[in-house]
Amino acid sequence: MFEPIDLLTFAVVFLASFAQGVVGFGFGLVTMALLPLFLPEKFAVAFVAVYSLGVSCMILYQMRRHIRFAHAMPLLIGTILGVPLGILAIKVADPNHVKLTLGVTLLAYSSWALFSKI
């Protein structure tokens, strides 16, 4: 049968997928806000990265006719440069610093998103 941690992980992924489906983004925000509460940070980052890659590939395939790849090139270049740096940072960083940085980033983004609409 399933362990409680499996059920928690499923619930978080379901909630994050629901948010992604409703507003078009937010999978990473929801999962990285909740998964590190009960999973090791490094595992949560890897899990979210792999799952997000799969979801993004499916969306890319479905939307391929509507994408202007010339407009997406800066994002692609940033991704190609940023992913190896992020992997290196996760590899060498102290888990407590990763949690602190993640928390500050999520609070800053949430505050900005909330108050920029007013």
pLDDT tens string 95-114? 888 888 888 998 998 899 88
Q: Are the CB atoms for 46 and 31 separated by under 8 Å?
A: no
Spatial distance between the Cα atoms of 102 and 41, rounded to a whole number of angstroms: 10
How far from the centroid of its chain's Cα atoms is residue 100's Cα? 16
Mean pLDDT computed over 87-91: 82
Q: Which pTM value belongs to this model?
A: 0.64
Tens digit of each residue's pLDDT (9 = 90 or more) over 29-41: 899 889 999 999 8
Residue-wise DSSP of 13-73: HHHHHHHHHHHS--HHHHHHHHGGGTS-HHHHHHHHHHHHHHHHHHHHHHHGGG--HHHHH
Max CA distance (Å), the chain: 48
What domain count does the chain have? Answer: 1
Domain interval for residue 103 = 4-115
Is 17 exposed, middle or buried (CB count within 10 Å of its CB: 0-12, 13-18, 19+)?
A: middle
